[in-house]
Amino acid sequence: MTALLEVRDVSKRFGGLAALDHCSLSLKRGQVTGLIGPNGAGKTTLLNVISGLVKPDNGTVHFDARDVTGQPMHRVATLGLVRTFQIVRELGGLTVLENLLLAPFHQRGEVISGALFARATVREQEARHAAKARDVLKRIGLWKLADHSASALSGGQKKLLELARVLLLEPTLVLLDEPAAGVAPPLLKDIIELIRELKADGISFGIVEHDMHLIGAICDHVHVLAEGTNLISGSFDEVTADARVIDAYLGLGV
Amino acid sequence: MIAQLVLNGFVTGLLLALPALALTLTFGILKFPNFAIGAMLTFGAYAAWVANSLLGMPLAVAAVASAVVMALVAMLCDVLVYSRLRDRGSITLLVSSLGISLVLENICRFAFGNATRNFAFEVARPIRWHGLRINQEQLITAIVVIACVILIQLLLHASPLGRAMRAVADNPALAAVRGVERQTIARITWCIAGCLTALSGVLAGLDRAVDPLLGWNYQIPIFAAAILGGLGSPTGAIVGAIVIGLAEELSSLVLPTNYRQIVSFAVILLLLLVRNRGLFGGKAVRK
Amino acid sequence: MSMPPVTPALSVQGLRAGYGNGGDIVCGIDIDQAPETVLAVIGPNGSGKSTFVKTLAGLLRPRAGSIAVTGRDVTALSPARRVMAGLAYVPQEANVFGNLTIRENLKLATEFLRGRPGVGPAQRELVMALFPEIAARPKLLAGNLSGGQRQMLAFACALLANPEVLLLDEPSAGLSPKFVGETMEAVVRVRESGVTVLLVEQNVAAALRIADEVMVLVAGRKSLRAPAKDISNADLADLFFAKAG
Amino acid sequence: MIAYLTTLIILVAVSALVGLALNVQWGVAGLVNFGVVGFVALGAYTTALLAPPLGWFPAMITAAALCALISTVLAFLSIRLEENYLAIVTIGFGEVVRILLLNESWLTGGAVGIADIPRPFVNLVPPRQYDLMLAAFALVLVAIVFVLLETLVRSPFGRALRAVRDDATVAAALGKPVLLLRVKAFATGGAVMGTAGALHAFYLTYIDPSQFTSIITAYAFMAVIAGGRGSNFGLLFGAGTIMVLLEATRFLKDAFAVIDGTQLAALRLGLIGLGIVLLLILRPQGLLPEPQRKANDFFPDHEGTS
């Protein structure tokens, strides 16, 4: 089973509305998979269920052949399945550099005993993480602002910082929630470039997005969601040519 | 014996209903539990005591005077402090209400010292009714509170102002589109909360005595009542208050009387453990 | 498109808007909408539709340009003052007070909007006739209404203020297909009662069925404006999947 | 004059410890503890009860451990739901401790309290100079606690707490165990408050419930706000200046004969309350900024624009 992520028959209701209705799909290892569909199709809810932010009513989620259904988000993240947020949420009280130093898992200094009694190990880890953080910051052009508080950055810079922060987690699968939303074209090019490079490094991506240009540019495979379920899957060209997708988008109903 | 306890419990609950209602109304607008509620109750009691004992007004008139004073004080707190800190998160508002409670409580202590004071009000003999002893303070409390509760319910459910208050509590942005200004409604809500707290100060002063810690002793039961009622629903606050009053009174079968506060604290802990929401709404679970 | 001889119900000139210090999301839009027509504003997500209608409603201060209702400039007015000037708005979500009953929502719709001509029992009768379902159960809490009924109540509240122009922000959002149909029929009834409707909609097909005219927004600019009947699915698909441009 | 100075040093030391504790809980981790006085009292009484049988040092350690344990339980109970509830639960806890101290006289001696509490290093130095030695002990204790807490705040643990304070969901998305981090921060603060209670007991050698009033909670909040939330250095300044200012009001009493003891206490607490409100409005960021790791901590040649 080469599928890195397997979502089987997941449903989730909020009050009367069925946000997800027996939705099943899978994301292949080493691929960039697009999740598209009109507003209210359940894309973000699906991402919240997979990442563990929201518990599904029924159905299962398997990551790397492990059942992670209903696991809390912080545990799912440490397994290598990480996510970003639709509305950028930078940690304002920390500097740009600290936002990245925060990322790596299982830091010895994050437990009281480590912070107090393993100072040498902690210093060594911090230096190693700082070196990696500097490379990433230089790559996305934010190294000069390393000491600025994250809240002082522009919208686009915050998006890049969030992407950089996620990369320092050395993830296996990254779920991006509308990375292109509110991002100016030049910056969009950088994001596309960055995702391509990381894909080459072996990181898989799941992208929820409305910007068809971005989806067309980098997705190997696309799932179209409509009214809480997986309508059809295939390559971007196959999918956008399919009459049912156009109808779903134009609201003629499934 | 039990019947007497139930009666006492019911009246104590009624006394808690007014401040619990005030707390819920201000929570609806500013979305934070006002920790100065106890100190406001004390301040109201002293204002009435000054009017009653020093200026010689009859207690009823003194109560009205105190209500007016407290309405102004509450509005002043909103104008000078709460409205400036409104968009700084509920934690900053919480800590600022701690500051305000210290100021209000200590103005009373500075002006009148720690001695307990009583209202100049000759209390008639308790009435005997089917073996139950009903003293006059309990009667007054019942009448005043029930009247206030009816008035508030009428205001909230049958008047434009009440509709506007509930609308702002539910959705301030939409209320603005309907021509309801959040700021004016907040001021009016604080005035009403001030009046309710002043009256409960008078009733508490009658039930016990007026001293700087009067309101502080009611602080925990008021919170227990408001949380039990769902911290956001006025009807819930009233029912919550009566439940807490009964729980405190009946606990005296098992616990010595000065352990009453522990009962309210135990109710709060139990509630947080068992129900993540109160009886009537006011979602408490983290979104 | 010959210039409409009568003054336009809604006239927008060179409108630019955006959030905080970000770039413009609405990048200069000009339209004149004839009275008693339905103009559907459609476009792919992120095209600026929602920002456009929020700016018209006064929830967002425009960076440039002007907005006029029946010839009267409302650009600087607050949302409430715009309702008094005859420009009513129904937000996408949270457009009713859940903890108030239907009757209370309807009362609150105009209670604090003194000085709007035509508001009163006559207008109430007219609006209630448009939405019998709502008129039937005044005591019901709005929070317990179904999606479709909630939209009806939101429409009714806006119409009680006797508006010249009604702005609708994606009324079909979150509704099952059955309710979408009902909502669109309600829009038609609103227009027939003499109100001009600007309908921002994601559900293009439903909007096209009832619209007189269509304006397509792409990346904050007007990329197409034509009578609804001249628009075919084919060129819409191109617009949506960004093949053109 | 020396006696007065040593008293001042010890009083500042106690309020500094309480302030440092609250700074970890609220300044760094964003958890509102309105029951500070309850934990200090618990620390003092545990020390007073255990010092005779176990000796002063094991008693102090046990007091700190007990406060940490109860902090863990209270934190776990309420943080599960929402921050506001911790404030309500802790204010309840403070009140319950006060009632138990007053009424469980078999254990706490009730209103009379507990007397002749053994003091540290009592035979090391003649009684006349003992207060001076205790002031030194207090300063050393504050120094140790300061170093420990400053290390924690500057460590990845402190950084994770600050992240949880700013946005708990994002911290969870980065794999941080949010609930565990918050409970640890609250327990650490609880332990330090217990130690402050112990120092208070050693200094006065007799304790009774009237010594533990809401002024202790008010001082702590004022010191953290004035000092700059998250900054331990700022906290020390804050605690120091407040204590000096308030001791100055002692001379006020002599100047205005009209003010009696109660009024003086009321004036102090009222001024503290006013100070909290004014600082929150006028200078929310406090005296000193929060410690942040700078790029040139790692790369001296970093010429970033700060």
- Residue B106 placed within a domain: yes
The domain limits of chain D are 2-213
Distance in angstroms (rounded) separating the CA atoms of residues B95 and C50? 38
- pTM of the predicted model, to two decimals? 0.86
Check CB contact under 8 Å for B95 and D82.
no
CA D204 to centroid of chain Cα atoms: 17
How many CA atoms lie within 13 Å of C122's alpha carbon, on the beta-carbon side? 5
Beta bridge partners of C168: C90, C199
Q: Which phi-psi region, left, alpha or beta, contains residue D141 (left: φ > 0; alpha: ψ -120 to 50)?
A: alpha
Q: Could D175 and A169 be called an inter-chain contact, meaning their C-beta atoms sit closer than 8 Å?
A: yes
Chain B contact for D225 (CB, 8 A cutoff): yes
Q: Where are the alpha helices (DSSP H) in chain B?
A: 2-30, 37-49, 59-77, 90-112, 136-158, 160-170, 172-177, 182-207, 214-228, 234-251, 260-274
The residue assigned the tokens 């699915």 is C233
**Which residues of chain D from 257 to 296 reach within 8 Å of chain A, CB to CB?**
290, 292-295
Q: CA of B245, closest CA in chain C: separation in Å?
A: 28
D151 touches chain A (CB under 8 A): yes
Chains that touch B (3 or more CB pairs under 8 A): C, D
Q: Is the ipTM of this complex over 0.85?
A: no
Residues 6+ apart with CB under 8 A from B222: B16, B19, B20, B23, B37, B38, B241
Q: Which two structure tokens, joined as six digits, stand for C15?
A: 């409108």
pLDDT value of residue B48: 95
Handedness of CA D153, D154, D158, D164 (dihedral sign): positive
Domain assignment of residue B96, given as a range: 2-274
What values do phi and psi take at A70, rounded to 5? 75, 0
pLDDT tens digits, A77-122: 999 999 999 888 888 889 999 999 999 998 999 999 999 999 999 9
Q: Report pLDDT for B155.
A: 94
Per-residue pLDDT of chain D (306 residues; tens, 9 = 90+): 778 888 889 989 999 999 999 999 999 998 989 999 999 999 999 999 999 999 999 999 999 999 999 999 998 887 776 667 888 889 889 989 999 998 888 988 888 889 888 888 888 888 888 888 999 999 999 999 999 999 999 999 999 999 999 999 999 999 999 999 999 999 999 999 999 999 999 999 999 998 998 888 988 998 898 888 888 888 898 888 888 877 777 666 666 666 777 888 888 888 889 989 998 898 888 778 888 888 888 887 776 654
Q: Is B209 on the interface with D (CB under 8 A)?
A: no
| B42, part of any domain | yes
Domain membership flag for residue B195: yes
Nearest to D92 by CA among D35, D165, D159, D13: D35
DSSP class per residue in D100-167: HHHH-HHHH-TTT-B-----TTTTTS-HHHHHHHHHHHHHHHHHHHHHHHHHHHHSHHHHHHHHHHH-
Q: How many domains does chain B have?
A: 1
Q: How far is D221 from chain A (nearest CA, A)?
A: 20
Q: Tell me which residue of B123, B130, B124 sits closest to B4, measured CA to CA.
A: B130
Paired with C169 in beta bridges are C200
Chain C partners within 8 Å of B160 (Cβ): 107-108, 111-112
CA dist B80 → B76, B187, B193, D282 (Å): 6, 11, 17, 12
- pLDDT value of position D293: 84
Q: Which residues touch C146 (CB under 8 Å, ≥6 apart)?
A: A16, C179
Fold entry, domain C36-57+78-240? Rossmann fold (3.40.50)
| CATH code at position B201 | 1.10.3470
Residue B227 lies in a domain: yes
Query: Phi and psi of C226, rounded to 5°?
Result: -160, 160
Instruction: Region of D153 please: left (phi>0), alpha (psi -120 to 50) or beta.
Output: alpha
Q: How many residues does chain B have?
A: 287
Residue B188 main-chain phi, psi, to 5 deg: -65, -40
Matching CATH number, A3-90+154-250, of 3.40.50.300, 3.30.70.660, 1.10.760.10, 3.90.550.10:
3.40.50.300
Could you read off the pLDDT of B4-23 as tens digits, one per residue?
Answer: 889 999 999 999 999 999 99
Task: Identify whether B280 is part of a domain.
Answer: no
Flag whether A touches D (3+ CB pairs, 8 A cutoff).
Answer: yes
- Beta pairing class for C64-69 and C38-42: unpaired
Q: How far is CA A193 from CA A117, A139, A218, B239, in A?
A: 42, 11, 9, 61
Round to whole Å and give the CA distance between B148 and A219: 65
Domain boundaries, chain A: 3-90+154-250, 94-152
